[in-house]
Amino acid sequence: MNKEKLAKEIIDNIGGKENVTHVGHCMTRLRFNLKDKSAVAIDPIENLDGVMGVQFSGGQFQIIIGPGVEDLYETLVKLGDFGEQQGQTIKSNPEPAAKKERFSFKTILDKMMDTIAGCLTPILPILIVAGLIKMLAALVGPSMLNVASESSDIYRLLTFVGDAGFYYFPVFVGLSGAKKFGSNQMIALLMGVILVHPSFVEIVASGEPFSVFGIPMTPSSYSSTVIPMILITWVMSYVEKYLKRFIPTALSTLFVPLLTVLIMLPLGLCLLGPLGTIIGLGLGNGLILLRELFGPFGVAIIGALYLPIVATGMHLPLIATALMSITTLGYDNTVLVGALVTVYTSLAISLGFMLKSKDPQKRSLGLSCFVSQSLGGVGEPTLFGIQFRYKRTIIYSMLGAFAGSLYAGFMNCAVYFVGASNFMAALGYTGGASSGIFHGVIACGIGFVVTFTLIMVFGYEPKTAVSKEESEPSVIQELSEEQ
């Protein structure tokens, strides 16, 4: 793609750079918060070379790009003068106070989704790297290949490095949350470090009463947590704004950060931190309740619906809930169990599409989608390039995911870490009983075989659509070029 041209056309068609209040990206999408959503020219953006799709979701305008999104984002940030770091709040373009959305459940849900996505998206690389390193530790350790003992340097190294990626969640979320809410990033990092400081950990572990400026503190461990720091950085942004209104500019450099920390210590340690812990436990217990009520069928339903949820861009809250389960229980046996199966159903769709297609351009599209998913762990090319264009293929994926997830549910499979969504995704089942990875691989195999069989037997489109398709080769050419 021509990055400069595409970035300029995107900015022009979203209402100009003045319409952007926040911009970021995930693994495959540009994510915009806009002042005026009606200013977006959706059709022209959808027709741009390099754009796979667009949608409004969770209060954001999302443009699906695919694996090249990071390079495009950097170009877009330079052209729009938006800032230099991922997840940049545009301070020169604050959201207009006059345009307040009407209070409703939908607006609340949108803001929650936007907040969680904005705070978690920037730290996804940490989660993936930490998950892969934990996977390597499990592979070489005594529970699998037994190449390294638990006392060996390599096993201990991989273990503590992988654990560090999860243990310091409050620090990582502090930085991304500060970017999202526009507060002081360094002070947010300090607040995150306070929550995991060894002295604070000892105070909590002792169980003895402790007060913050005379206010009783509820002892709670914040390592590997997400919600507490989201709440702390959110409230901290308002505290900073309030202080800047009353403290003279000449004194603000010293007193705004100092007073912010002194105010946030009792708020964070005595109110927001414990509240975030309660919310996190509630979400985790919700997953446990879902499993208890519906058993393996609850896992199968989530697995079947996971790809459509990804398409809406609302999968990050689900992942956040699963991560809370992993950090508190050591595993997730509800959300990610089915999510891993969908990786292999997507592989089956792209491979089957390539084999069933007679058109060279379609075969190229199928091959590129297969490579993107199997090696790069990026599923959006298959989702938007094939499954949402040929609607019956997503039905095949959902059926395959249901079958594989149902087997995993009956076998009590659980996921112990989040890694890349490529051909090694099934290794996420490694960590518990030795039979867990065995049944997890079988579940993923069932998902692949069911999906692949369906597309090979029934095809990816009705036979009556062949003539129409052949009369529109430019559409296929465009999709192939996007990949």
Cβ atoms < 10 Å from Cβ of 296: 18
In the predicted model, what is the mean pLDDT of residues 145-161? Answer: 90
Which amino acid, residue 23?
Answer: V
Q: How confident is the model at residue 116 (pLDDT cuts 50, 70, 90)?
A: confident
Higher pLDDT, 298 or 470: 298
In the predicted model, what is the mean pLDDT of residues 282-303? Answer: 82
Structure tokens at 134: 């934990």
Q: What is the pLDDT of residues 239-280, one digit of tens each?
A: 999 999 999 988 888 999 999 999 999 999 999 999 988 887
Which of 40-49, 85-94, 395-404 has maximum average pLDDT?
A: 395-404
Whether the per-residue pLDDT at 159 is higher than 60: the answer is: yes
- Whether domain 3-91 has CATH 3.40.50.1370: no
Strand order across the 29-34 sheet: 53-57, 60-64, 29-34, 20-25, 88-89
| pLDDT value of residue 84 | 54
Q: Which residue has the tokens 């959006």?
A: 380
Structure tokens at 420: 């890349």
In the predicted model, what is the mean pLDDT of residues 407-424? Answer: 87
Q: In the predicted model, what is the mean pLDDT of the chain?
A: 83
Q: What is the pLDDT of residues 71-90, one digit of tens each?
A: 899 899 888 888 654 455 55
Instruction: Enumerate the domain spans of the chain.
Output: 3-91, 168-285, 295-482
Distance between CA atoms of residues 424 and 367, nearest Å: 18
